Amino acid sequence: MFFNSHTVTLWLNYKAINDAIMKKSNRLSIVLFVLYIALVVIMQRLYPPFVYVLAITMAVLFLFSLLVRRNVRFKGYFTSKFNVLTSKMRYRDKFDLPKDILMDKMSEALTDAGFQVRHVDKASGNLFATSAMSFYSWGENIYLDLTEIAGVTTVDFCSACFFGATSWGRNEQNYKRLLQKFEDSLVI
């Protein structure tokens, strides 16, 4: 079931590639996940109680993710390509606006889109927000990194499920929703 879900996620990833200027895939995490599944199957045959060990391990990891989810210092943990337990989508867009103005507009757009803004660092151009739990996912962490070169600001968007091998399209929806709210906010 996990493998089929991840295949669907792969297909959704490739489907969304035309909607973004640049998008990074999770190929390495998929390879690691497949190896992980193979290891589980082999270990279960060799040592049947392994399944209980695995269930406890997953529960511990889930509780850990839940505890640190709202802490911006764990950004690397949630966005790492080696972390197969968090499904992520990355996009990159360019806007013809200065970084300081875009920071405020993105913060406004995040709030309007229903996300909760947890951390804003104007100096480094970082924004961190979280989404609420839904039927499809436990919730996502949204990370925005803004860099300005010659009046054009590049926004690196990353939406990562805090726990889940697949987001069922939620990561993609988060990106589209944020973009839509940002476009709407340009009507003054």
Partner 1 sequence: MSIIVNLDVMMAKRKMSLNELSELVGVTIVNLSILKQSKGKAIRFSTLEAICKALDCQPGDILEYRDDE
Q: Does 180 bind partner 1 (CB under 8 A)?
A: no
Per CB under 8 A, the list member of 30, 85, 97, 144 interacting with partner 1 is 97
Please identify, using beta-carbon distances, which residue of 46 and 188 lies nearer to partner 1. 188
Kindly indicate which of the ranges 8-16, 30-38, 80-88, 96-104 contains the residues binding partner 1, using the contact rule CB under 8 A.
96-104
Residues 6+ apart with CB under 8 A from 142: 110, 115, 127, 128, 129, 130, 131, 157, 158, 159, 174, 178
Footprint on residues 25-54 left by partner 1 (CB under 8 A)? none
Residues 6+ apart with CB under 8 A from 100: 122
Q: Least distance (Å) from partner 1 to the CB of residue 154?
A: 16
Q: Supply the DSSP symbol for 74.
A: G
Q: How far apart are CA 174 and CA 77, in angstroms?
A: 20
Count, residues near partner 1 per rule CB under 8 A: 10
Per CB under 8 A, the list member of 96, 123, 149, 150 interacting with partner 1 is 96
Q: What would the x/- binding string for partner 1 be over residues 99 to 138, using CB under 8 A?
A: --x--xx--x------------------------------
**C-alpha separations of 24 from 29, 90, 92, 158 in Å:** 12, 6, 9, 10
Footprint on residues 55-84 left by partner 1 (CB under 8 A)? none
Q: How far apart are CA 58 and CA 102, in angstroms?
A: 39
Measure CA of the first residue to CA of the last residue in the chain; give whole Å: 47
Please identify, using beta-carbon distances, which residue of 89 and 109 lies nearer to partner 1. 109
Handedness of CA 132, 22, 148, 177 (dihedral sign): negative
Please identify, using beta-carbon distances, which residue of 149 and 187 lies nearer to partner 1. 187
Please identify, using beta-carbon distances, which residue of 55 and 186 lies nearer to partner 1. 186
Q: Least distance (Å) from partner 1 to the CB of residue 109?
A: 12
By CB under 8 A, name the binding residues for partner 1: 96-97, 101, 104-105, 108, 183, 186-188
